[in-house]
Structure 1
Amino acid sequence: MEGHYISLSINVLALFLLTLYVPQAAGQRQPLYSALYVFGDSTIDPGNNNFLATVVKSDFPPYGRDFPNGRPTGRFTNGRLVTDQLSELIGLPDLLPASLDPEFRGQKLLTGASFGSSASGYADSTSIPLDVLPLEKQVENFRLYKARLAKQFGHETANKTVSQALFAISGGTDDFANNYFLNHITRKKYTVEQFQDLMLKSLTVFIENVYNEGATTIAIVGLPPFGCLPSQITLHNIVENTCFEEFNEVASSFNSKIKALLEKIKPHFPGAVIAYLDIYDKILDIIKSPSKYGFEEARKGCCGTGLLETAILCNPSSISCAEPSKYVFWDSFHPTTECYQIIANNLFQQALVVFNSPTRRN
């Protein structure tokens, strides 16, 4: 009974806070955070790879089909990313800019950016072969951004903006799906557990680096059930044609390790709140019960056959579905913007509880 009341209290708190912070007309409320800074992979990259010499790009149709004017921006989906929608939910602009975009300047500097890079991961061996930004380079770019912010608006404003911002990192899928389980050299060098530990070391260094730059609110987004991605089913479980549970177990075990790591290291970062945000359960539920969320298709993406296409394989010659809103996935690897909206809402509610708890306020 006591557990029931605790659960009820948490839900009531989340609902109360949600009523305070749901988006309203511009200017009617203060943002929950001064800025949003995100790091990671294609799920949060709004176009940084457009400015890199890499084949991992999506700055061409049909990507961006449901973006304003049908414009491809480098986002690996048909519209806005989860981070765009999360930015709007916390009261900031509804498009989170790419840090490498030449248009990222002026007043835009004050409300945050994405430093993420599609196909990047926690391990350097995931990022470097594809000429995308490894995590260390993403943090270096943040430092350069912070210097720009200070130069234009002053050190006091820069430090205040950073200290009151929400930092988030979302990655890991590429480390496993496009590196470990496709690279015999990596598998020969590490067991799954050893590779997970290598990724955790990278995560720890990331937390140390952004904390030293002034971050006080840091969200670590866990791995999704990547064994349910259409591409992974096609490549690894086509006979049964269902989620590849071995991969899901790897994701689940890594998420458990993240949570254990955060509990261990939190005392080393006084004044900061570092929290785990789960996406595994919500995404798995969407995939297992798509009709509950208004979707009709969860096995394949909207672009092309939807079974393997992503990046250049999803191109102007590809035939895409008539109604992406009925699909969980846009291509074989990335959700539709409609699915991202559900994920963003869920992450937002988790963040409200975690970062506005009595522990957070103290």
Structure 2
Amino acid sequence: MASSLFMASSLKIFSLVMVLGSFSTQAEARAFFVFGDSLVDNGNNNYLATTARADAPPYGIDYAPTHRPTGRFSNGYNIPDFISQAIGSEPTLPYLSPQLTGQRILNGANFASAGIGILNDTGVQFQLYDLGARRVLVTGTGPLGCVPAELALRGGANGQCSTELQRAANLFNPQLIQMIKGLNQQLGSDIFVAVNTQQTHYDFISHPGAFGNITIYT
């Protein structure tokens, strides 16, 4: 299976939340909800008046079976797609999609929108436990200073990543992990899971062969 790298050449990458919740007494009944930005947008921005769009080639060229742009900021599948496959579910539909009707909403939905950034009220995501969420994946920031647009604008003369943005990410991620640990201690269970996006990106760069055929677009 070919892996996909995200084409966030003009967007900063911020935290995202992916939620697996149980909405019935049956253990196997799970819904999958996604909140975040371009890393996990499955096409919401196709329905919005925004310049942050992924509805033209080369986006989607590895997306089976159509090989056409889907609104995902990727050449193929994105993170929610792989999670949906792992739990045996259909890919999450954008919440703005006209196809998301009736019982389909009970299977989950994708509320992500590219370029959304972090809002002052982002902390409301941690109330999801009260709404039935029992596994919440929370990512930190990726290597912000290494995004192609930032390399072009603020990178070093020899292609080094932006020092300022890298420092910001290095300050943010450890504090996010500590906050999540504190929440889990209050709840008495590992409900919230910190995902090390920065290390994942470095793994792609350092050991690309371990992830199949990777296509990079900038």
The answer to whether TM tops 0.5 is: yes
CA-to-partner distance for each residue in 1:264-317, whole Å, 9 max, x for gaps?
Answer: 3334446771221222212112223435545xxxxxxxxxxxxxxxxxxxxxxx
- Please report how far the alpha carbon of residue 326 of structure 1 lies from its aligned counterpart in structure 2 after TM superposition: 4.1
Which one scores higher on RCO, CA 8 angstroms, separation ≥ 6? 2
Shift of the 291–272 alpha-carbon distance from structure 1 to 2, 3 Å rule, reads closer
Rounded to whole Å, the distance in 2 between the matches of 1:214 and 1:226 is 32
Equivalent of 2:147 in 219, 226, 229: 229
Number of the residue aligned with 2:105:
109
Rounded to whole Å, the distance in 1 between the matches of 2:77 and 2:214 is 16
How does 1:236-247 map onto structure 2 within 5 Å? 236-247=154-165
Shift of the 292–73 alpha-carbon distance from structure 1 to 2, 3 Å rule, reads closer
Number of the residue aligned with 1:46:
42
Where in structure 2 are there 5+ consecutive unaligned residues? 1-25
SS in 2 for 1:205: helix
2:89 equivalent to 1:61: no
Shift of the 205–107 alpha-carbon distance from structure 1 to 2, 3 Å rule, reads closer
Q: Which moved more, 1:260-269 or 1:54-63?
A: 260-269
Shift of the 272–99 alpha-carbon distance from structure 1 to 2, 3 Å rule, reads farther
2:115 equivalent to 1:119: yes
- Please report how far the alpha carbon of residue 62 of structure 1 lies from its aligned counterpart in structure 2 after TM superposition: 2.6
Is contact 2:208–2:214 with CA below 8 Å preserved after alignment? Answer: no
- Please report how far the alpha carbon of residue 31 of structure 1 lies from its aligned counterpart in structure 2 after TM superposition: 9.3
Is contact 2:156–2:162 with CA below 8 Å preserved after alignment? Answer: no
Matched residue count: 192
Normalised by the length of structure 1, the TM-score is 0.48
Q: Which has the larger radius of gyration?
A: 1
Rounded to whole Å, the distance in 1 between the matches of 2:189 and 2:80 is 25
Rounded to whole Å, the distance in 2 between the matches of 1:290 and 1:244 is 22
Is contact 1:32–1:90 with CA below 8 Å preserved after alignment? Answer: no
Equivalent of 1:258 in 149, 161, 176: 176
Where in structure 1 are there 5+ consecutive unaligned residues? 1-29, 125-201, 295-324, 333-362
- Please report how far the alpha carbon of residue 80 of structure 1 lies from its aligned counterpart in structure 2 after TM superposition: 1.5
- Please report how far the alpha carbon of residue 203 of structure 1 lies from its aligned counterpart in structure 2 after TM superposition: 4.1
Equivalent of 1:204 in 123, 146, 164: 123
Task: Indicate the RMSD between aligned Cα atoms, in angstroms.
Answer: 2.5
Pick the structure with more helix per residue: 1
Rounded to whole Å, the distance in 2 between the matches of 1:238 and 1:206 is 36
CA-to-partner distance for each residue in 1:62-93, whole Å, 9 max, x for gaps?
Answer: 32222222222111112211111111012212
Shift of the 231–109 alpha-carbon distance from structure 1 to 2, 3 Å rule, reads same
Rounded to whole Å, the distance in 1 between the matches of 2:47 and 2:96 is 7
CA-to-partner distance for each residue in 1:91-119, whole Å, 9 max, x for gaps?
Answer: 212x2211110011244323211111110
SS in 2 for 1:217: strand
SS in 1 for 2:193: strand
Number of the residue aligned with 1:92:
89
Rounded to whole Å, the distance in 2 between the matches of 1:215 and 1:286 is 30
Rounded to whole Å, the distance in 1 between the matches of 2:184 and 2:210 is 37
Rounded to whole Å, the distance in 2 between the matches of 1:281 and 1:80 is 20
Number of the residue aligned with 1:142:
none
Identity of aligned residues (%): 33
Normalised by the length of structure 2, the TM-score is 0.76
Number of the residue aligned with 1:359:
none
Rounded to whole Å, the distance in 2 between the matches of 1:264 and 1:212 is 17
2:205 equivalent to 1:287: yes
* Corresponding letter in the other structure for 2:134: T
Q: Which moved more, 1:277-286 or 1:262-271?
A: 262-271
Equivalent of 2:76 in 73, 76, 79: 79
Pick the structure with more strand per residue: 2
